[in-house]
Structure 1
Amino acid sequence: MIVNITLFLATMATVLAAGLFYSYAVSVNPGLGRLPDAAYLSAMQSINRAILNPLFFLSFMGAVLLLPASAWMHYSRNHIRFWWLLAAAVVYIAGTFGVTVAGNVPLNNTLDAMNLEGATPEQLSGWRKTFEKPWNTLNTVRTWANILSAAILAAMFIFTKDTQGE
């Protein structure tokens, strides 16, 4: 029972994170991209602060913990599912979590330290140029990695069967 619950929670965390990053890539980023520099930077500061909440961390960090745990639980129980789960975990941890921690978070921290109120239009434009394109590129990488991880899980459910009791 704990194996199935862990697999369910790992899948839900991965799919919820994939949905968040996908939605961001196809709606939030294009919408923010239409804003003037000061409004864009201010909105990104606000969003980056707001996302640091328990619900976000539940899915984002839940997948980091639950995918490897589920893989480990399937090692002797269902060796084929173990490999699918290991692949999903590696892709998620490297491509979603790793890119976020190594790339997006440092950019967010730099943006958060910017004093937008006293900045000149030239400063705002420069700050946006150093933030927006790199951040969006990294977001695209982590979005695709997260989608791939979710797709691996979906394929696992389609192409394998649970061997409990066999």
Structure 2
Amino acid sequence: MLAPLSAALTMAAILGSGLMAGLFFAFSTAVMAALARLPDGQSAAAMNAVNVVILNPVFLTVFMGMTVVALALGARAVLGWSQPGSAWLLAGSVCYLVGIFGVTAAFNVPLNDALAAAPGDAQVWSRYLAEWVPWNHVRTLAGLAALACFTMARQ
């Protein structure tokens, strides 16, 4: 009974990690570079619009749903440590929870809030780019690592 649930959660984790890694990859490789080419006021306004629009049911279901899935799989890994793939499940869960959820909450969201509070401030935008983008790279790599770990757990 628990094996099919664990398998389903692991597949959900693979898909969710891939979606999040892909989203962050797109921002790291294209979106932020494009915004950086715009005049400061336009780029900050565009990013503020993205930050509002992204908080939609589809994104939040994947982002927060993956947090719940990672917690469940992490608990399953610890409680069933002798089961095959447990170390991979725990590693994938930590990658998602710390590298995506934690980094987002601790770094990207506060930077988003600061940008929203001062949309026309060129110094705020410059700081935003200098800090937000590297943390987004961390989220991208964490998503890829989580994807790889959850995939290895199915072997």
What is the one-letter code of the residue matched to 2:106? A
Identity %: 33
Paired residue for 1:127, among 118, 124, 129? 124
- Rounded to whole Å, the distance in 2 between the matches of 1:127 and 1:18 is 26
**1:45·1:108 contact (CA, 8 Å) conserved in 2?**
yes
- 1:46 is displaced (CA, Å) by 0.4
**Runs of at least 5 residues in structure 1 that lack an aligned partner in the other structure:** 117-123, 161-166
How many aligned positions are there?
Answer: 151
Cα distance per residue 1:60-103 (max 9 Å; x no partner): 11221112313434553962311101000011111111110000
Whole-Å separation in 1 of the counterparts to 2:111 and 2:89: 31
| Residue of 88, 103, 107 corresponding to 2:111 | 107
Unaligned stretches of 5+ residues in structure 2: none
- Which of the residues 72, 76, 80 maps onto 2:75? 72
Report which structure shows greater RCO (CA 8 Å, sep ≥6): 2
Look up the equivalent residue of 1:96 and give its one-letter code.
I
CA RMSD between the two structures: 1.8
**Relative to structure 1, is the Cα distance of residues 93 and 77 closer, same or farther in structure 2, using a 3 angstrom cutoff?**
closer
Give the TM-score of the pair, scaled to structure 2. 0.88
- 8 Å contact from structure 1 (residues 99, 138) kept in 2: yes
How big is each residue's C-alpha offset from its partner over 1:101-135, in whole Å with a ceiling of 9 and x where there is no partner?
Answer: 0000001111112253xxxxxxx321212211101
Q: Name the residue aligned to 1:23.
A: 26
Say which one has the larger Rg. Answer: 1
TM-score of the superposed pair, with normalisation by structure 1 = 0.82
Q: Tell whether the 8 Å contact from 1:68 to 1:86 is kept in structure 2 after alignment.
A: no
